[in-house]
A and B are shown apart, each in its own frame.
With several copies, the nearest count.
Chain A
Amino acid sequence: MATIKFEEALSRLESIVAELEKGDLPLNDSLKIFEEGVKISKTCLKMLDDAERKVEIMVQEKDGKKRLEAFSVEPPKEELN
């Protein structure tokens, strides 16, 4: 669901850019969407910056229960970083 917002935010940002670049908005409206645009971009960037990579693996216990466990990337994977 957060991804939908993110996408919407990005497209909103794009339409803000288009509208501001047309330049035919009243000052107040421009200011508002400017503010909105800046906020959106901050929010988006923050989302991207704040996200932490987690690689997990679903494992099955002996009792048959399943749970997620951190998946340690194998040595060959290290090379990828």
Chain B
Amino acid sequence: MANSTNPVLTVTQLTSLVRTSLESEFLDFWLEGEVSNVRMPASGHMYFTLKDANSQIRAVAFRSIVRQIRFSLEDGLQIVVRGRMTVYEPRGDFQVVVESIEPKGVGALQIAFEQLKTRLAQEGLFDQTRKRGLPFLPQKIGIVTSLSGAAIRDILTVLHRRCPIMSVVIYPVPVQGEGAAVRIAQGIRQCNQMGEVEVLIVSRGGGSWEDLWCFNEEVVVRAIADSDIPVVSAVGHEIDVTLADFVADYRAATPSSAAEAVTPVLRDIKESIAMNVGRVIQGMEHQLQIFRHRFQTAQSACPHPAHIIQHHAQCIDDLDHRLTQAISRVYSVWRPRIDSLRVSLNAHSPRRSIRQGSLVIHQLLVRLQNVLPSLVTLKRRELQRVITLLQDLSPLATLARGYSMVELVASGDIVRSIGDVEVGTRIRARLFDGHLSCKVEKVQKDASHLDL
């Protein structure tokens, strides 16, 4: 490090560098000293100072560690802690972060404990991933414990209180002293062999560190680790921590809380079921109500076709009426037209011209009848005149004066001379009013006749 080239550090930078350096240097150490200034604020962390004749150092035990301390930390107490160094940067304090605390003087047992714990931890026996969940409502519970201790009583009491139907198989084992660990491990294995229980409580009541020691023995830890059945550990009091606790699927602070951990409250379950089924029914009924309401709304809103039909029927009646009216109006137009035509036809019948024709003919007839008789009368008059003239000129008038005319009957010739006849000749003498048929008797010449 060249002073000339070193940059000027900020406090924060330096503090951070120191922290890093300390933390990497003092990662895991054991420290022995006297406790003073113990302080435990609401956070649950614990702060105290460790000192010896010459020095002192700040220490902090975080809440998770505090919970594991199986004794109370008091000023003046000599303890051994396992920890690491760190720096609290806001104040620049360096302090020991305590990982575990043991009272001073535990000695070899404690070391053995720590060594086994480390080894088993390295095997992964304490991994959180190995831990299995506890059954919600096991039908049968196994308990590996001593019949003589308070633990069995506490467990049975709690079980019966919470879940009176819970069946239990007890595997009685000694829980302290020589051989206890092996019996406990046997009990656990036996229980697995029987296969009747769904969860197993391994337990004993409170006692000294030494009393509880069998639960730190490897055979027990491995039996728990090998168990197919989930295991709940409940050893000693809350402050007591054993390796059995580390390896168990669940660590209960006390036997009572182990019993609580493996059983639900039966009454609560029943109530929950009853409540749920009530909600199921209500939900169903509610839905039915909604559907029924919707259905009834639709049904009551449905218009009846009778209205439509009635409307249509009225329409048709109206049209029907108009139809009849319209057709009778048609007749009321046509009929008068025909009637007036008929009147005109009659008024102009040929009768009048017939009568007129007949009048003309009769007039002509009268003229005809009159004209011919008058014509005939005319002709007759003319004839009469001529006839009168003729009568006036009649030669018969001469005869009437005494003359007569003689003619030969045979020839009709006039007899002018006596020589025209001879005796015996038949003659006819004409007078004015007739004639005489005669025969000549004598022919005599007349003297007075002058022959010239």
Given a CB threshold of 8 Å, the question of whether A touches B is answered with yes
Residues 278-300 (chain B) with a chain A CB within 8 angstroms = 279-281, 283-288, 290-292, 294-295, 298-299
Are B390 and A16 neighbours in the complex by a CB distance under 8 Å?
yes
Least distance between B303 CB and chain A CB atoms (Å): 5
Please pick, from A4, A20, A57, A71, the residue contacting B284 in the complex, using a CB distance under 8 A.
Answer: A20
Please pick, from A31, A48, A62, the residue contacting B405 in the complex, using a CB distance under 8 A.
Answer: A31
Residues 1-42 (chain A) with a chain B CB within 8 angstroms = 2-4, 6-7, 10, 13-14, 16-17, 20-21, 23, 25, 27-28, 30-31, 34, 37-38, 41
Are A10 and B357 neighbours in the complex by a CB distance under 8 Å?
yes
Type the 1/0 row for B288-316, where 1 means its CB is closer than 8 Å to any CB of A: 10111011001101111110110011011
> Which chain A residue lies CB-closest to B340?
A17
Which residues of chain B are near A66, meaning CB under 8 Å?
A: 190
In the bound complex, what is the Cα–Cα distance between A6 and B361 (angstroms)? 11
Instruction: Count A-B contacts at CB 8 Å.
Output: 408
Are A45 and B316 neighbours in the complex by a CB distance under 8 Å?
yes
Q: Tell me how many residues of A have a C-beta within 8 Å of chain B.
A: 43
Are B302 and A23 neighbours in the complex by a CB distance under 8 Å?
no
Are A27 and B308 neighbours in the complex by a CB distance under 8 Å?
yes
Least distance between A51 CB and chain B CB atoms (Å): 4
Partner-contacting stretch, out of B76-84, B96-104, B206-214, B378-386: B378-386
The answer to whether residues A10 and B292 also contact, given A23-B283, A37-B280, A55-B354 and a CB cut-off of 8 A, is no
The answer to whether residues A41 and B156 also contact, given A16-B390, A52-B165, A68-B169 and a CB cut-off of 8 A, is no
Are B276 and A17 neighbours in the complex by a CB distance under 8 Å?
yes
Are B136 and A3 neighbours in the complex by a CB distance under 8 Å?
yes
Residues 310-364 (chain B) with a chain A CB within 8 angstroms = 312-313, 315-316, 319-320, 322-324, 326-331, 333-335, 337-338, 341-342, 344-346, 348-351, 353-354, 357-358, 360-361, 364
In the bound complex, what is the Cα–Cα distance between A77 and B284 (angstroms)? 20
Least distance between A4 CB and chain B CB atoms (Å): 8
Partner-contacting stretch, out of B111-119, B240-248, B267-275: B267-275
Are B309 and A20 neighbours in the complex by a CB distance under 8 Å?
no
Are A37 and B323 neighbours in the complex by a CB distance under 8 Å?
yes
Please pick, from A25, A38, A44, A73, the residue contacting B312 in the complex, using a CB distance under 8 A.
Answer: A44
Least distance between A9 CB and chain B CB atoms (Å): 9
Chain A contact surface mostly: helix
> Which chain A residue lies CB-closest to B312?
A48
Least distance between A60 CB and chain B CB atoms (Å): 9
The answer to whether residues A37 and B345 also contact, given A14-B276, A16-B323, A27-B376 and a CB cut-off of 8 A, is yes
Least distance between A71 CB and chain B CB atoms (Å): 6
Are B414 and A38 neighbours in the complex by a CB distance under 8 Å?
no
Which residues of chain B are near A77, meaning CB under 8 Å?
A: 153, 156-157, 373
> Which chain A residue lies CB-closest to B358?
A48
Partner-contacting stretch, out of B18-26, B27-35, B391-399: B391-399
In the bound complex, what is the Cα–Cα distance between A2 and B322 (angstroms)? 26
Are A44 and B308 neighbours in the complex by a CB distance under 8 Å?
no
Least distance between B413 CB and chain A CB atoms (Å): 9
Least distance between B157 CB and chain A CB atoms (Å): 5
Are B288 and A17 neighbours in the complex by a CB distance under 8 Å?
no
Are B170 and A48 neighbours in the complex by a CB distance under 8 Å?
no
In the bound complex, what is the Cα–Cα distance between A38 and B157 (angstroms)? 33
In the bound complex, what is the Cα–Cα distance between A53 and B167 (angstroms)? 5
Are B350 and A34 neighbours in the complex by a CB distance under 8 Å?
yes
Q: Could you list 29 examples of A-B contacts with CB < 8 Å?
A: A6-B136, A10-B291, A13-B277, A13-B361, A14-B298, A17-B299, A17-B326, A17-B341, A20-B283, A20-B302, A21-B367, A27-B287, A28-B405, A30-B330, A30-B375, A31-B372, A34-B323, A41-B320, A41-B341, A44-B379, A45-B270, A51-B309, A52-B165, A52-B354, A53-B160, A53-B165, A56-B170, A57-B169, A59-B346
